[in-house]
């Protein structure tokens, strides 16, 4: 994977308080897991950015390499990799995700 893609991903994560690498976008989620994480963050009233990995295979592979995590979606809050759908859902259910989102505002 090119170091340019890795640098772009790192810069993008730093630039946004909450960033999601998903399939599709806010207006048109293209997979159930991506839709679920977006719905959770919308329910929390979070302001977040998305990156559609389907539109850029280099970014799709690059973010997996960046985090050493094999699946999409991938969620970052305040520059920290949080995880994917199952982890986000568990954090939401426990109330921890709300604290993380509030801290990112």
pLDDT in tens, 6-51: 999 999 999 999 999 999 999 999 999 999 999 999 999 999 999 9
Which pLDDT score, from 0 to 100, does residue 100 have?
97
* pTM for this entry: 0.95
100: left (phi over 0), alpha (psi -120 to 50) or beta: alpha
Angle between helices 3-15 and 57-67 (to 10 degrees): 80
Which pLDDT score, from 0 to 100, does residue 87 have?
98
| CATH node for 3-104 | 3.40.30.10
Whole-number percent of the chain with pLDDT over 90? 96
- For residues 62 and 93, the answer to whether their CB atoms sit within 8 Å is no
Rounded CA-CA distance 82/26 in Å is: 19
Which pLDDT score, from 0 to 100, does residue 1 have?
56
What stretches of the chain adopt beta strand conformation (E)?
18-22, 24-25, 28-29, 49-52, 74-77, 80-83
């Amino acid at each position: 994977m090119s170091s340019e893609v890795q640098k772009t991903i790192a810069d993008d994560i730093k630039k946004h308080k909450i960033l999601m690498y998903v399939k599709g976008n806010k207006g048109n989620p293209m997979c159930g897991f991506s839709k679920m994480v977006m719905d959770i963050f919308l329910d929390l009233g979070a302001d977040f950015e998305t990156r559609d990995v389907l539109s850029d295979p280099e970014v799709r592979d690059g973010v997996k390499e960046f985090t050493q995590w094999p699946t999409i979606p991938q969620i970052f809050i305040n520059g920290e990799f949080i995880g994917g759908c199952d982890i986000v859902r568990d954090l939401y259910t426990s109330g921890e995700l709300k604290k993380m989102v509030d801290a990112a505002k």
